[in-house]
Structure 1
Amino acid sequence: MVGRYSMYPDSIRLLFSPESWLDDVCINACASLLQDSLSAPQLPSSDASRACAIFSTHDLVRVRHNTADEYFWGQVRATEYWNKATWIIPIHRPSPENHWVLCIALPHSHTLYLFDSFGHRGSWDQDVEDVMKLVTRLVLMANRQYKSCRVITEGWTAKPTCVQAMQTNGYDCGVWVLAGIAAALQGFHVPALTELEVRELRHHLYRAVMAQPVYVPRSQRCNQ
């Protein structure tokens, strides 16, 4: 495990390999690492980054499987999403597509910005339906916990952020999603990167992960 980001050797190898598809561990850990980095007080991105709540790749799955509120709340409350202006929701589309996409939700303007690095416009119906179920669930849970989440859950608009392919290979969609997350943390809706720059982002994230302190469970520590 690397620091608090829960990156294990198999996932680190995926991040290091230039042609490997990223798994959920990579997406979740790197998203948290990006937010911590871009929230540094001395950076111009600090305010925008701190105004974002990043949800786990597992949260949409929990909605699909009707996970109990008690457990679900325990997984999302640390984000303090009811106080945030931007909700960042990475989405995994399972086989046969096996593709990562990204939704940036602005709860107070009732807008979803949808990013697909392949530029597809016709594959979002199920994702939007699931995201709105997530939004409704989040609002209800927060208000039941007296967190005053005054968000309307009807009449939202969904907009694609790109309609032309930015990705031409079959393995970088996860890195593109991380690029989209980095853009959202800086107040933008779409990453302004080339494929070469996305490859450089993968390498940058790998180096950032490897620079984190390694956590060794107490049970595995040698007696001093």
Structure 2
Amino acid sequence: MRLEAITWERLGDALAERLLDLKPGDGSPWPRVAFDGPPAARPGDLAQLVGEALRVRGRPSLAVDTGGFLRPASLRFEYGREDVEAYYSGWFDTAALWREVFGPLEPGGTGRVLPDLWDPAADRATRSPYVQLPPGGALLLHGPLLLGHWFPFDLTVHLRLSPAALRRRTPEEERWTLPAFERYEEETDPATAADVVVRADDPRHPAWGGLPE
């Protein structure tokens, strides 16, 4: 894939412009977008940029962090705090994401989305109120390991780090998660699966492969 340099601001604008005309294939009035990438790639920052670019264009959006849908500590750490298999397949409450985020945005849904469910620091429910996303409003879901769950995304953006950059930019206390991302590369191949790929090895100088036709 040929990549070209771009600024984060221009990237946010380009993705926002694409979303203005994006029609979900299943007839839902809410475009659903994935910003997939390891924490070191900071996919949430790009989601926020796109949300702001949509706002100035008069289009509502809701950024949702999968970190707000972690399972309770008793389940995440059942096999230890650094169990790679648990991180890969058991840390995130995908059932809750289906129920509280994607379900309300199906055709005929209510549009009432729960922005988060679980506070991992306090290890208890957040009790956040539901957010009403009006028709045409975009869901901007960001987090790691997003592309292997059959979520009904209408556009997927993958922030890619080379193995060396991923190790360099991951804090030492989190490097035990690196084998999970190696497995993700092997099993999901996110750079091929995603609609848009952004190389973020140098956080100051991203590059991307452009928008899909």
Task: Give the TM-score of the pair, scaled to structure 2.
Answer: 0.29
The structure carrying a bigger strand percent of its residues is: 2
Give the number of the structure with larger relative contact order, counting CA–CA contacts within 8 Å between residues 6 or more apart: 2
Task: Give the TM-score of the pair, scaled to structure 1.
Answer: 0.28
